[in-house]
Amino acid sequence: MYEHYAFALYSPVPYNLIMTNKGKLSTAPYKGVRDFYPEDMAVQRYMFDVWRMTAEHFGFEAYDASILEPSNLYRAKGAENAEIINEQTYTFTDRGNREVTLRPEMTPTVARMVAGKRRDLTFPVRWYSIPNLFRYERMQRGRLREHWQLNCDIFGVDDVSADIEILLLANEIFKNFGAENGEHYAIHVSSRRLLEALYDSVDLSEDARREATRLADRKNKMEPGDFKEKMTAICGDAAKDVLTYLNADNINVVPEGIKKHDAYTELQTLIATMEETGTPVVFDPTIIRGFDYYTDTVFEVVDLHPDNNRAMMGGGRYDNLTEMFGGEPIPGIGFGFGDVTLRDFLESHELMTTDITSPTLAVLPTDTEKNIAAQKLAQHFRNAGIATSVDVSNKKVGKKIANAGEQFIDYALVLGEDEIDSESYTVKDLIEGTELSGTLQDLIDQLTNNG
């Protein structure tokens, strides 16, 4: 559907340019959010199209909800995430004294929607959405205060086959952007349940588990010696097995004590099946994920470009989240895939498309007196199904042709006195540099065959 080329995109407004000019209102957007000028909108549409197309290819159905949620949705047991709720939400009290939050993520919302219709839904449910989310974060590359996120989730399947399907879908999306697994990105997987099995096997206290997990999450940012020392201080005699586990680069080299656990067998099945489907995943026991609701498989997709050190996609299995709405819990697994990190990824690896929505043809009158004739001619092309724009500016025709090329328009028709008199036109192919000529009908025939 789309071709992949590298091209220069408009860079977003630097955040520090949010200033006023002599008391006038600033034209900059609110801190940490973006305006989408047409160039950026074209990129966003491309990314969303690939997301939607791939999710639907796997049989996922679209859903949506409001950006506003009652704040207690993020405070209920099971959904809480201390960092996001205490430090990162936009929360306010409405005129009716209700506490309202701009959604920081979609998972509690989709769990609420599935739980609300549990009697009417046919499980398994496969749903996707592309919500905009708000987090009051410290801004840096790959982190803004508003981002869009593709969410794909499966509800009602508690075996590992759903985990495999979700990872295959994640990989397929990257493939459809023209990216290669292992060259441009890597899928890192782990299991919360297996980590708990490890702690059980060495009889670690609840407090030590919490601290060890927090430290494990920071492992890749620490010196190995420092990490070992701190882990030993937390775990005492159990540190040897905990360190063997967290240093494992392969599922076969984890401590023997957990190899009989079914969380181990399941993760092994997942990794082996992914390998068999030609979609390798990397066992990475340091993948922890910030949300407390994950219960089992957890994963992140990392960008292998050195400029991009943020995960592009994260997700996992959360089997108890719907419990907060009452009734039997409905198992869920899914991921969120952010637009900011995706755009950085596509640009860094030169995978961004130029096939953005632009007209096929530009009609370029040689001077403003031909503008009306140009509008009439353009309308004939549009009536024949050819997307056509008209450049009615008073620029020189050479400049108009150059502008059409910059806007990724495929063909240009220069309309001067001779063309109007003879009713015979020449269309220049701006990509190939070739020309077509003939009457209006000849050109419509040729362009519709070509198009």
Q: Does 312 bind ligand HAM (CB under 6 A)?
A: yes
Whether 281 contacts 167, CB under 8 Å:
yes
Helix (H) or strand (E) holding 342: helix 339-348
The CB-of-110 to ligand HAM minimum distance in angstroms stands at 8
The CB-of-451 to ligand HAM minimum distance in angstroms stands at 36
Q: Does 150 bind ligand HAM (CB under 6 A)?
A: no
Structure tokens at 9: 């995109």
Whether 289 contacts 298, CB under 8 Å:
yes
The CB-of-36 to ligand HAM minimum distance in angstroms stands at 15
Choose between 52 and 228: whose C-beta lies nearer to ligand HAM.
Answer: 52
The CB-of-282 to ligand HAM minimum distance in angstroms stands at 16
Q: Can you tell me the distance from the alpha carbon of 7 to that of 312, in angstroms, rounded to the nearest whole number?
A: 21
The CB-of-309 to ligand HAM minimum distance in angstroms stands at 12
Residues 6+ positions from 109 with CB-CB distance below 8 Å: 65, 69, 73, 103, 131
Region of residue 157 (phi > 0: left; psi between -120 and 50: alpha; otherwise: beta): beta
Q: Does 410 bind ligand HAM (CB under 6 A)?
A: no
Count of CB atoms within 10 A of residue 416's CB? 15
The CB-of-73 to ligand HAM minimum distance in angstroms stands at 13
Interaction residues for ligand HAM, span 173-202 (CB under 6 A): none
Interaction residues for ligand HAM, span 66-125 (CB under 6 A): 105, 107
**Prior bond to 70 cis, omega within 30?**
no
**Region near ligand HAM per CB under 6 A, out of 12-20, 143-151, 370-378, 389-397:** 143-151
Contacting residue, 190, 341, 353, 388, with ligand HAM by CB under 6 A: 341
Backbone φ, ψ for residue 102 (5° rounding): -75, 125
**Region near ligand HAM per CB under 6 A, out of 94-102, 137-145, 208-216, 374-382:** 137-145
Q: Can you tell me the distance from the alpha carbon of 60 to that of 176, in angstroms, rounded to the nearest whole number?
A: 16
Q: Does 129 bind ligand HAM (CB under 6 A)?
A: no
Choose between 35 and 229: whose C-beta lies nearer to ligand HAM.
Answer: 35
Torsion angle, alpha carbons of 441, 446, 448, 451, to 10: -150
Choose between 79 and 197: whose C-beta lies nearer to ligand HAM.
Answer: 79
* Residues making contact with ligand HAM (CB under 6 A): 105, 107, 135, 137, 143-144, 147, 149, 151, 153, 311-315, 334-336, 338, 340-341
